[in-house]
């Protein structure tokens, strides 16, 4: 980093307790060593390491699960602990010994990686066991990636490697603090352990303090005409992208609430893809400064499973406070202050950082739709129990299970199921939350006593609910709808599948996800004529393992309703932000389009909505059963063409579309349509609602940000005259073009006898 200065602290920075499992411990660093987006051939220099002290903490419990035991430990040095280090104070330290061949590569923005030869130490250790090896003379050398170091055993074999480190570099003093690097199992060691899935399992954490021989940093590449904003300039659009989750790990196994669970942790690689600097200040710093006194981003994550056609939640984390950014690969001229994410800059929060009890807190302190942490000024918080803006709690007595994502071990061992881990960065004023979240498919495995989570396929931006039902191409008997309420976003997906071994029966599965709607949800209603349908196997899932807060189902003539239990329960039952729950039942009736509804838990301003409606599918009944007919996609509205006015629709205006009178072949007895609705060239962020009669109640057909084209599929009821209404709503007024294509329609079917 170019600037290692940090604002003064109003309290001592929290330290990670030594008792935590280091099966995932490592913190933020972009370990790719990549050049900035604008650099083509970055000028670098190579500075020799002239002295070093390395501190190594290995987790005995994780090693024991792999059949390894630490023996022959011989420490030889002392260190000055860094206030951001997660290495326990009692961890052994080793000083450099003999000739040093290791070199450090630096560029205009500081540390880029390692090169050259080895770094040997006085002292070391041995790992005893069937796959044991000798590190009695601790030897490190540059790894396969620029910012990694390899452990070379006495026979010259690489058994361990670092990954996802944090670093600070003081170019004037020629000092490098290489911090909190994961120590992970290599493929060679995994092979010796008897299972390739052990490759990548973290068994400890490493710090290294190095003194360098060097001069001035190389100059910055040329800055273009549109120079990035300088530090302190907060103009532009905030847009933080979660661009990868390179690893998923475990942080402990225990019995919680009567069930064996494992704590699951993702890493999170992010990048500033907007046009504004993003504040990244540590908590209880920058208390009176701009912008957004004492604010920073937050990370939450959850795990889901698809099994027998149903998407189910398996667990969720609490809220992780961000505290520092490495600013790797920035645009030339970008701000690289360690508490500001500059333009083009990237950062990595490793699995270990996301397990740091000094950074984890309850979710209810942060408003997800705004990204604001409510604290100080007399407002107590997890880390400031009296609200005086001074930290008085650092997680003492807490561990990986207190705020972690706890997945039941039994739920991770279902043959044929697909598993997903999803993460979401909550950032104040972020213009696009859906590139701030993403997911990885994983294959959980526990070869002996340690869980591994190998990833499957590529990382995907957006919520994992889209992996279950694709919102663009949902397929037959499925739908996936997003609602932007202007107070936050809610998403509902439904899939209807045949019940295995039960001819004629259908399984109706619904997944309801609250992304950033802070007033929470307290009920979910699926309307249909229950008198004409067999209904069985009604179920609800939230993944937390507590029955006391399970939603209660009620079946009456209007359909099925799931509602939070009466009274106050702990854990709370209401559907909070960044949370998914699922509902299901079996029926002997084929599906038809309906409009589901959900009640809001918390009161809001007088003009706030009190119910959210989303199109979905349900068993056919009196209110709307029907047969579905496909069409070759046909355009019924394109405001760019002369026939449709050749002008965009103004915000809050309503355009009527006579679908039956079009040339698309929709008959007069059709009552619902399958559509693709596209927004083009909107002048601001907003949504488009397509509906039959109204006004609509917040059920956006497609939501969008300024300058980004968006499309979404929908099932929409028509008026009795075969018409639709189209209403755009754009923040601050403005306009947008709208294109609607119809791909099918529903007509009434004979009633079930």
Tell me the pLDDT tens digit for each residue of 389-420: 999 998 999 999 999 999 999 999 999 999 99
State percent of the chain over pLDDT 70.
Answer: 91
Closest CA relative to residue 705, chosen from 675, 738, 683, 678:
683
Question: Does 21 score more than 80 pLDDT?
Answer: no
In angstroms, how far is CA 370 from the centroid of its own chain?
Answer: 17
C-alpha to C-alpha distance for 520 and 574, rounded to whole angstroms: 6
Question: Does 192 score more than 90 pLDDT?
Answer: yes
Q: pTM value?
A: 0.78
- pLDDT at residue 289 in the model: 66
Q: Compute the CA torsion angle 659, 665, 666, 667 (nearest 10 deg).
A: 120
State percent of the chain over pLDDT 90.
Answer: 63
In angstroms, how far is CA 40 from the centroid of its own chain?
Answer: 31
Question: Does 570 score more than 60 pLDDT?
Answer: yes
Put residue 67 in one of left, alpha, beta given phi > 0 → left and psi -120 to 50 → alpha.
left
- pLDDT at residue 7 in the model: 29
Mean pLDDT of the region 640-664: 94
Question: Does 182 score more than 90 pLDDT?
Answer: no
Mean pLDDT of the region 159-183: 91
pLDDT tens digits along 320-357: 999 888 888 899 999 988 889 999 999 988 887 788 88
Mean pLDDT of the region 273-282: 94
C-alpha to C-alpha distance for 263 and 250, rounded to whole angstroms: 5
C-alpha to C-alpha distance for 700 and 613, rounded to whole angstroms: 9
Question: Does 738 score more than 70 pLDDT?
Answer: yes
- pLDDT at residue 695 in the model: 54
- pLDDT at residue 324 in the model: 81
Mean pLDDT of the region 212-232: 89
- pLDDT at residue 202 in the model: 86
Average pLDDT, rounded, for the chain = 88
Question: Does 507 score more than 70 pLDDT?
Answer: yes
Confidence of residue 98 (pLDDT cuts 50, 70, 90): very high
Q: Which residues contact 473 (CB under 8 A, 6 or more apart)?
A: 713
Question: Does 698 score more than 60 pLDDT?
Answer: no
Question: Does 38 score more than 70 pLDDT?
Answer: no
Angle among Cα 17, 22, 24 to the nearest 5 degrees reads 125
What is the residue whose two structure tokens read 């942060």? 366
What is the residue whose two structure tokens read 């439904």? 494
- pLDDT at residue 17 in the model: 27
Least confident residue range of 10-14, 421-425, 670-674, 744-748: 10-14
C-alpha to C-alpha distance for 494 and 505, rounded to whole angstroms: 16
SS (H, E, C) 164-177: CCEEEEECCCCEEE
Closest CA relative to residue 463, chosen from 501, 425, 498, 428:
425
Helix, strand, coil % (nearest 5) of the chain?
A: 5, 45, 50
Range picked from 41-55, 277-291, 452-466, 702-716 for highest mean pLDDT: 452-466
Q: CA-CA distances (angstroms) from residue 641 to 47, 422, 664? A: 63, 41, 17
Question: Does 707 score more than 80 pLDDT?
Answer: no
Would you call 62 helix, strand, or coil by DSSP? helix
Q: Are 66 and 72 in contact (CB under 8 A)?
A: no
**Number of CB atoms found within 10 A of residue 741's CB:** 20
Least confident residue range of 1-5, 165-169, 462-466, 675-679: 1-5
Q: Compute the CA torsion angle 384, 388, 390, 393 (nearest 10 deg).
A: -20
Structure tokens at 608: 């706030």
Please give the backbone phi and psi of residue 400, each rounded to the nearest 5 degrees, phi first: -60, -25
Question: Does 669 score more than 60 pLDDT?
Answer: yes
- pLDDT at residue 11 in the model: 31
Question: Does 687 score more than 60 pLDDT?
Answer: yes
pLDDT tens digits along 521-538: 999 999 998 887 889 999
pLDDT tens digits along 575-632: 999 999 999 999 999 999 988 999 999 998 877 888 898 989 999 864 445 677 889 9
């Amino acid at each position: 980093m170019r600037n290692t200065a940090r604002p003064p602290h109003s309290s001592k920075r929290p330290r990670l307790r030594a008792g935590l499992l280091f099966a995932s411990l490592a913190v933020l660093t972009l370990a790719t060593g990549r050049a900035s987006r604008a650099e083509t051939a970055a000028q670098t220099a190579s500075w020799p390491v002239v002295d070093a002290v390395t501190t190594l903490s290995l987790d005995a419990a994780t090693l024991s699960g792999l059949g390894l035991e630490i023996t022959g430990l011989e420490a030889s040095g002392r260190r000055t602990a860094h206030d951001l280090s997660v290495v326990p104070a009692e961890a052994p330290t080793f000083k450099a010994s003999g000739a040093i061949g290791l070199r450090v590569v630096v560029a205009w923005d500081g540390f880029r990686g390692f090169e050259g030869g080895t770094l040997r130490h006085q002292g070391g250790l041995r790992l005893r066991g069937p796959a044991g090896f000798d590190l009695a003379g601790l030897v490190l050398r540059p790894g396969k990636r620029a910012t990694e170091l390899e452990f070379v055993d006495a026979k010259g074999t690489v058994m361990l490697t670092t990954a996802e480190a944090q670093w600070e570099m003081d170019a004037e003093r020629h000092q490098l603090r290489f911090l909190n690097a994961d120590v992970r199992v290599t493929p060679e060691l995994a092979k010796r352990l008897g299972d390739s899935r052990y490759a990548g399992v973290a068994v400890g954490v490493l710090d290294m303090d190095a003194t360098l021989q060097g001069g001035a940093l190389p100059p910055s590449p040329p800055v273009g005409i549109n120079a990035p904003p300088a530090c302190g300039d907060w103009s532009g659009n905030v847009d933080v992208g979660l661009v990868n989750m390179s690893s998923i790990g475990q942080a402990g196994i225990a019995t919680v609430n009567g069930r064996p669970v494992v704590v699951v942790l993702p890493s999170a690689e992010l990048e500033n893809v907007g046009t504004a600097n993003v504040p990244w200040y540590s908590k209880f710093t920058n208390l009176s400064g701009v912008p957004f006194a004492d604010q920073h981003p937050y990370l939450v994550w959850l795990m889901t499973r698809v099994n027998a056609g149903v998407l189910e939640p398996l667990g969720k984390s609490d809220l992780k406070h961000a505290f520092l950014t490495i600013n790797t690969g920035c645009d030339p001229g970008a701000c690289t202050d360690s508490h500001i994410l500059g333009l083009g800059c990237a950062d990595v929060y490793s699995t270990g950082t996301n397990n740091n009890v000094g950074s984890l807190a309850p979710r209810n302190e942060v408003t997800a739709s705004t990204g604001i942490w409510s604290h100080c000024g007399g407002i107590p918080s997890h880390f400031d129990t009296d609200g005086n803006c001074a930290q008085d709690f650092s997680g003492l007595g807490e561990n990986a299970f207190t705020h972690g994502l706890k997945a039941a071990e039994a739920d991770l061992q279902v043959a044929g199921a697909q598993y997903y881990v999803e993460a979401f960065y909550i950032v104040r004023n972020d213009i696009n939350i859906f590139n701030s979240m993403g997911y990885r498919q994983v294959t959980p495995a526990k070869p002996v006593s340690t869980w591994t989570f190998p990833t499957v396929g590529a990382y995907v931006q957006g919520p994992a609910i889209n992996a279950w039902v694709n919102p663009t191409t949902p397929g037959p008997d499925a739908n996936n709808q997003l609602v932007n309420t202007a107070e936050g976003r809610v998403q509902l997906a439904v899939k209807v599948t045949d019940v295995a071994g039960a001819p004629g029966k259908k399984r109706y599965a619904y997944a309801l996800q609250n992304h950033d709607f802070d007033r929470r949800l307290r009920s979910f209603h699926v309307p249909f004529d229950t008198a004409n349908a067999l209904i069985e196997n009604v179920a609800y899932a939230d993944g937390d393992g507590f029955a006391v807060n399970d939603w209660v189902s009620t079946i009456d003539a209007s359909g099925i309703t799931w509602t939070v239990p009466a009274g106050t329960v702990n854990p709370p039952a209401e559907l909070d932000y960044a949370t998914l729950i699922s509902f299901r039942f079996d029926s002997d009736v084929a599906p038809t389009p309906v409009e589901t509804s959900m009640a809001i838990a918390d009161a809001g301003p007088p003009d706030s909505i009190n119910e959210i409606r989303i199109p979905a599918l349900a068993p056919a009944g009196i209110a709307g059963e029907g047969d579905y007919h496909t069409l070759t996609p046909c355009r019924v509205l394109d405001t760019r063409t002369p026939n449709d006015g050749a002008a965009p629709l103004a915000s809050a205006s309503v355009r009527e579309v006579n679908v039956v009178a079009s040339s698309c072949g929709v008959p007069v007895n059709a009552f619902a349509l399958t559509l693709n609705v596209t927004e083009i060239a909107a002048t601001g962020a907003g949504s488009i609602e397509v509906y039959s009669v109204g006004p609509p109640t917040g059920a956006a057909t497609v939501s969008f940000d300024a300058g980004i084209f968006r499309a979404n599929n929908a099932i929409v009821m028509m008026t009795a005259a075969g018409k639709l209404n189209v209403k755009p709503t754009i923040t601050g007024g403005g306009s947008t073009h709208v294109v609607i294509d119809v791909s099918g329609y529903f007509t009434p079917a004979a009633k079930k006898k």
